[in-house]
A and B are shown apart, each in its own frame.
Chain A
Amino acid sequence: MSLTLPRLRSVGVESSLIAAENLTAGYRDKIVWREANFAFGRGELVAVIGPNAAGKTTLFRLLLGLQQPIGGTIKIFGAPPKRGNPRIGYVPQRHVIDSETNIEALELVRLALSGKRWGFNPFSHDDRDAAIAALEAVDAMEVAHRPLGVLSGGELQRIFLAEALVSNPEVLLLDEPLSNLDMRRETDLLHLVDDVVRSRGITALLIAHNINPLLPHLDKVVYIASGRVATGKPSEVLTSESLTALYGIQVEVLRDPHGNVAIIGLEEHHGDV
């Protein structure tokens, strides 16, 4: 048996799990957004919102190490992101699962844990136990043995969440988990995400189109539009003044008596910034 030395992790000045300084994202010939500054600590629930194609998924790709920044720095767990970090759970935007797919949900969640290991072990039960634990956490055990192809949108989203949770991540990235869900299911899923994330101290970033259902649960919001990124508490970021100052054009943030928010003036922007 070989000795493994404990890995020394340097204690940084900031205690934030995710931190970016003057981060600029894009491709060789096109900048998607520039000079973003943000820091998220352990256990924070953060919404990432903005118009279509503003670059919300780009933020996730940077955190996953699937894309490199073209300016500034981004750090997660105190180091630049690298592909395949098991401490990050990812729930991508979904394509529809073929109704012919007969594989049971439990199998998908199991494989999320064991899929990175070569070979196959017919006698191992760890991945099965972990999968069941994850499915219980998302309250999806009753559909564990049903084929993926027959599950409803809401049930599938829980399965995908379990898939991301099975490796006990510290950070969870959810890309539009609420689209294709009716309002009732939306609320249910949000409550579930909130519960799971709070009880495990997970830092969660959630891309959504409509911020209103999320408002009661959020610690911070990241607003990406027209090539700029605004970050902070919802009450600070989602005001006419701060968004107007950030984007240099007149932005109105309207609130109704229930606290619902509507942002006017930053619709889809197809030109470069």
Chain B
Amino acid sequence: MQHAFEAGTLIAVIAGVMGYFVVLRRSAFTAHAFSEIGFAGAAGVLLLGINPIVGLLLGSSLGGLAIAALGRRAANRDTQIGIVLAFALGLGVLFISLYSGYATAAYSILFGQILGISSSDVLLTLVAALIILATVAIIYRPLLFASLDEDVAEAKGMPMLFLGTAFMLLVAIAVSFSVQVIGVLLIFSLMVTPAATAQRMARQPQRAIMISVAVALFATWSGLFIAFYEPYPVSFFITGIVFTLYLMVRLIQRIGRGKVNHSLQK
């Protein structure tokens, strides 16, 4: 359980941070595609007896590089990405059916199985977290500006291809490790929803990132805590909590707006 909390904390932080940029750059679908392409990688290396994380990293990184190569402006990008990820899922299904090992392996890739995480995986997660946070710290301002105003950033001679590729690889790493907690299918719950909630609440990026991490941490810890007592999957609780928080924020903001309108009308 202690390992689960350690890994969960690290993952909530990296998912909260990267999620902010994913939402900012409207790349939520791409992040989801990474987890599903990574799934094929994970299922594939499982057949070879290798740690699924390696497969996730390979799959999502390759997918990330391919998508970055498409360029940001490619029309029909969603369609192209969707076509590739559908094929990747198909491959994943094949690999899973060929796998004759523990049945829970497939389940844990799809839905997360943090409770059983090993100490070596926690260490791996720590290394990944350090790499992501250090890189984000370095490219923070250029990445932020290039995400907000692509045309002016390009005109200013900023390294757009490098930033786009670095971003994709960071997302690939964050997604691959987040799968441990939340699984391939529910990746949005850590990579998107907390950040989407946060960016509704804060108008400055630094503040929004902190809120995003806070939401992810709260949901992960609560989810782990509840799962200790209830027999249902951790990933479900985390998903439920972030979704509820998101709805609450939207509701509160709508009521707030309604009050303003009402008082304006008087």
Contact = CB atoms under 8 A, between A and B. Distances in A.
A66 B149 contact: no
A215 B252 CA distance: 50
Contact of A115 (B145, B151, B199, B204): B145
A154 B91 CA distance: 51
6 contacts: A82-B157, A90-B155, A92-B152, A111-B148, A112-B152, A119-B137
A120 B151 contact: no
A118 B166 CA distance: 14
Interface in A89-146: 90-92, 98, 102-104, 107-108, 111-112, 114-120, 122, 145
A145 B144 contact: no
Q: How large is the interface on B (under 10, 10 to 19, 20 to 34, 35 or more residues)?
A: 20 to 34
B142 interface: yes
B170 to A, nearest CB: 15
A92 B154 CA distance: 11
A265 interface: no
A71 interface: no
List the 9 closest pairs (A to B, CB-CB), nearest first: A84-B157, A115-B145, A83-B157, A104-B203, A92-B151, A111-B145, A120-B140, A90-B155, A64-B155
A116 B146 CA distance: 9
A64 B144 CA distance: 22
A91 B208 CA distance: 27
Q: Is the interface of A mostly helix, strand, loop or mixed?
A: loop
A102 B199 contact: yes
A116 B156 contact: yes
Nearest to A90: B155
B138 to A, nearest CB: 6
A84 B156 contact: yes
B149 A118 contact: no
B141 interface: yes
A147 interface: yes
Contacts of A85: 157
A163 interface: yes
Contacts of A64: 155
Contacts of B206: 120, 122
Contacts of A92: 151-152, 155
Nearest to B204: A107
B157 A115 contact: no
Given A102-B199, A118-B142, A119-B140, A107 B156 contact: no
Nearest to A167: B156
A147 B24 CA distance: 13
- Of the candidates A85, A98, A102, A108, the one having the most CB atoms from chain B within 10 angstroms of its own CB is A102
Contact of B152 (A90, A103, A122): A90
B200 interface: yes
Given A107-B204, A107-B205, A111-B141, A116 B152 contact: no
A255 to B, nearest CB: 36
Interface string B67-87: 000000000000000000000
